[in-house]
Amino acid sequence: MSSRLPEPGADERAHSDRLLARLREEIAAHGPMPFSQYMERCLYAPGLGYYSAGKTKFGEAGDFITAPELGELFARCVVNATHPVLELLGENADFLELGGGSGAFAEAALKAFAASGTLPRRYLILEPSADLRERQRERLRQALPAELFARVLWLDRPPEQDWRGVLFANEVIDALPTTRFTMRAGEAYEEYVALDGEGRLMRVDRPADALVSGAVRHVERDMEVEFADGYRSEILPQLPYWVQAIAGSLTAGVMLFVDYGYVRREFYLPERDDGTLRAYYRHRAHNDPLYLPGLNDLTASVDFTALAEAGNSAGFGVAGYLSQAQFLIGSGLQEAFEAAYESAPDEPARYRLAQEVKKLTMPDQMGERFQAMLFARGMEVVPLPAALLEADQGERL
């Protein structure tokens, strides 16, 4: 594994070793842990998890690049699609971003909201990582006019009071700690992380509990197939509870999720028999989640059919499902690009804009691999762009 990945520095390796020691202690004390629990520790353990420590995550200096890191066009399109919702809901409508990343999206979005003439009452960022929260705060303080920055409020838990507005999440669900399952003699087993005789991490399978087994059987019934013995993949039995937790207090408005994934029948293709789990380290993907815990982003693709079911169970209706390319084009990407191109200061800037559009929309880049799903609740009319609604592919779910 390490032969084809960049070697970590001494500080990085020491950081990973500290998390590894904690994982070993926990497994030694309590027995093998479900893979979902291992993934949660690797990503979110205070001070040691991938998203909780001080290492740069986003952009060229990190391990991956998200759409907001490419430039401002993505955020402008999201604002184009959602500012009419805020306008219809009135002056008390808020915008809630789940997981603020580097702060690049919030910066571009607030500027675009100001330009549209429809600012949210508050721009809320639900960010559990104290390290990322401080990075976001510093960036926005420097980049935004004081009156815009004053609208930003950081949360460490979902709003408990009823609110109205827009909830937005880009590449969030792929980072939810996922359950790994496999089939043996027609029965569902769950993947765990254990220790071998020399104290090294290893993966083992145990009979699945009722929650995991029930989730697997639901997928089989929905697709009218039975998973073959040895088939291994991911599932999020907690997804309905998670959606209810983060959006239960949104009484009127729209939710927008953008992430990479598939509809269910494509997620669980027979040939995709080891699931979609990947680890990312310095822009390189690999398939060993036990390698250098705490230094890798661990991620799994999204079953958008499961997301639709979870939204429905939380009281929302699916308002649209389409590829990222179709979403951006339907939300005014052409106009946003032309305006940015016209005001670009030089040829290199115009070239970067063209490359940004290519990466956001081309099928072999983000355009088809990423999907957008919109939900609505408590609105008699959902004022989404007509071109976006016309491109809806909800029947594929």
Domains of the chain: 67-175+241-264+302-396 (3.40.50.12710)
- Residues 6 or more apart whose Cβ sits within 8 Å of residue 77: 327, 328, 331, 332, 333, 336
pLDDT band for position 2 (cuts 50, 70, 90):
very low
pLDDT digits over 17-69, tens only?
A: 999 999 999 999 999 999 999 999 999 998 899 987 755 544 454 455 688 88
Please say if the pLDDT value at position 304 is more than 90: yes
pLDDT band for position 70 (cuts 50, 70, 90):
confident
Give percent of the chain above pLDDT 90. Answer: 85
Please provide residue 346's backbone torsions phi and psi, each rounded to the nearest 5 degrees: -160, 175
Q: Looking at residue 333, what DSSP letter applies?
A: H
Please provide residue 375's backbone torsions phi and psi, each rounded to the nearest 5 degrees: -125, 155
Q: What is the mean pLDDT of residues 275-292?
A: 91
pLDDT digits over 154-199, tens only?
A: 999 999 999 999 999 999 999 999 999 999 999 999 999 999 999 9
Task: Report pTM.
Answer: 0.94
48/139 Cα distance (integer angstroms):
23
49/56 Cα distance (integer angstroms):
13
Is the separation of the CB atoms in 352 and 339 below 8 Å? no
368/353 Cα distance (integer angstroms):
19
- Residues 6 or more apart whose Cβ sits within 8 Å of residue 234: 178, 179, 180, 181, 275, 276, 277, 300, 301
Question: Tokens at residue 5, please?
Answer: 């990945």
Report pLDDT for 58. 47
pLDDT band for position 7 (cuts 50, 70, 90):
confident
pLDDT band for position 153 (cuts 50, 70, 90):
very high
Is the separation of the CB atoms in 64 and 50 below 8 Å? no
What would the DSSP string read from start to end of 14-54?
A: HHHHHHHHHHHHHHHHH--EEHHHHHHHHHHSTTTSTTTSS
